């Protein structure tokens, strides 16, 4: 059985053409094929995902990343999951953009703790031109430490993307959050097309893309199918695909709506299925366990690694949400016999 066979769903699903060039990841997935992968018996899905994973990634490595909120709260967007929205009654106060030196100190601490990538997030709809010089200085300073750099600043104009690229930014994170059909149920102040426009600017500037979403927001499996399908049919797969489990926050629309209901936490096996399908559909991408990991058992996290997740955020906090912490992560990785990744990601290495 070949890896190409393993990336195809059950025979009952519609047949599809081969990749345009031998070894190229497919970008022609149909929703029926993605749905058929979700429907596979769990053991078969895990087998396929692990086989695809081993064909493109080291089986015993996980990339360690650190995420810092460089500008917290006061965001004008109305994302239903986010405590940083100005419309949320979460008690979070808006703060100013951090000083460059403070950001660089945090980056140095992250590197000392073993992180390979340092991600900086600002609660903006889009960065203002007056803030770009400071943001560029952050990128340049973190890059000079030998860390990979990633930023998430909201929507970008083409010129802003080029400025970040000129500063040496490695990755830009801009999540699609959910399926195109479900997007308006989560966010109303921007559209799914707005997200794709920024991703286009990022790609055109030569910056690698970090793009994923959140599951457990009360969506259907069909929405999870649509979420993975939207990512897997981009002209080029994202180099990084973060998969978040919703952290319900009191005072946010989704946190209040789901509180006390069975939908307040996505089923662990369904979450693992989502990771496995993402791995099969985007074989060379880094699949990152992001928000929500602090509430997962060690067994669930281990299943996610078996399903093809190979990147995590370390530290005690992700923007404003809690996280497992460096010591807990180190203990878990040691228990599983997994070591921190040090080499280049497959998609970036292939592009060089």
Round to whole Å and give the CA distance between 276 and 261: 26
Q: Is 211 a catalytic residue?
A: no
Active-site residue (options: 8, 26, 48, 75) = 75
Could you tell me if 127 and 156 are in contact, meaning their C-beta atoms sit under 8 angstroms apart?
yes
Q: Is 162 a catalytic residue?
A: no
Active-site residue (options: 150, 195, 284, 304) = 150
How is residue 85 annotated by DSSP? B
Q: Is 82 a catalytic residue?
A: yes
Active-site residue (options: 79, 117, 224, 273) = 79
Active-site residue (options: 210, 279, 293, 304) = 210
How is residue 317 annotated by DSSP? E
Distances in Å between the Cα of 248 and the Cα atoms of 66, 82, 258, 345 are: 22, 9, 7, 32
How is residue 304 annotated by DSSP? H
Active-site residue (options: 211, 288, 293, 304) = 288
Active-site residue (options: 65, 82, 211, 304) = 82
Q: For the residues of 129-166, what is the DSSP string, one character each?
A: HHHHHHHHHHHHHHHHTT-EEEEE-S---HHHHHHHHH
Round to whole Å and give the CA distance between 244 and 47: 23
**Please, which residues bridge with residue 171 across strands?**
150, 208
Could you tell me if 208 and 170 are in contact, meaning their C-beta atoms sit under 8 angstroms apart?
yes
Q: Is 210 a catalytic residue?
A: yes
Active-site residue (options: 26, 65, 119, 279) = 119
Hey, what are 129's tokens? 């031109």
Could you tell me if 232 and 34 are in contact, meaning their C-beta atoms sit under 8 angstroms apart?
yes
How is residue 262 annotated by DSSP? G
Round to whole Å and give the CA distance between 147 and 156: 23
Q: Is 65 a catalytic residue?
A: no
**Residue 284 CA from chain centroid, whole number:** 14
Neighbours of 105 (CB within 10 A): 12
Residues with active-site annotation: 75, 79, 82, 119, 150, 210, 288
């Amino acid at each position: 059985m070949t890896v190409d066979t393993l990336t195809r769903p059950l025979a009952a699903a519609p047949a599809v053409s081969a990749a345009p060039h031998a070894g190229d990841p497919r970008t022609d997935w149909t929703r029926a094929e993605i749905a058929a992968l979700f429907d596979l018996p769990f053991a078969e899905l895990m087998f396929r995902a692990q086989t695809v994973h081993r064909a493109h990634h080291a089986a015993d490595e996980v990339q360690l990343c650190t995420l810092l909120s460089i500008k917290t709260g006061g965001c004008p967007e109305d994302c239903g999951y986010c405590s940083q929205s100005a419309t949320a009654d979460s008690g979070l106060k808006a703060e100013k953009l951090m000083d460059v030196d403070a950001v660089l100190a945090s980056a140095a601490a992250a590197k000392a703790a073993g992180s390979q990538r340092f991600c900086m997030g600002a609660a903006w709809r889009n960065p203002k031109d007056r803030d770009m010089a400071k943001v560029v200085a952050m990128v340049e300073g973190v890059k000079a430490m030998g860390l990979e750099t990633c930023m998430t600043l909201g929507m970008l104009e083409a010129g802003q993307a080029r400025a970040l690229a000129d500063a040496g930014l490695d990755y830009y994170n801009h999540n699609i959050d959910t399926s195109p059909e479900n997007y308006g149920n989560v966010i109303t102040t921007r559209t799914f097309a707005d997200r794709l426009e920024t991703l286009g600017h990022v790609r055109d500037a030569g910056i690698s893309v970090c793009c994923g979403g959140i599951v457990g927001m009360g969506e259907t499996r069909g929405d999870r199918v649509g979420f993975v399908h939207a990512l897997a049919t981009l002209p080029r797969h994202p180099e990084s695909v973060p998969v978040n489990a919703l952290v319900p926050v009191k005072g946010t629309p989704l946190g209040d709506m789901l509180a006390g209901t069975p939908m307040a936490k996505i089923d662990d096996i369904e979450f693992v299925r989502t990771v496995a399908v993402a791995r099969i559909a985007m074989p060379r991408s880094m699949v990152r366990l992001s928000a929500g990991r602090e509430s997962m058992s060690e067994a669930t996290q281990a299943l996610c690694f078996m399903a093809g997740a190979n990147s995590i955020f370390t530290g005690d906090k992700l923007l404003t949400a809690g996280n497992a912490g460096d010591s807990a992560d180190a203990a878990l990785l040691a228990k599983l016999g997994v070591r921190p990744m040090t080499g280049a990601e497959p998609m970036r290495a292939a592009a060089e």
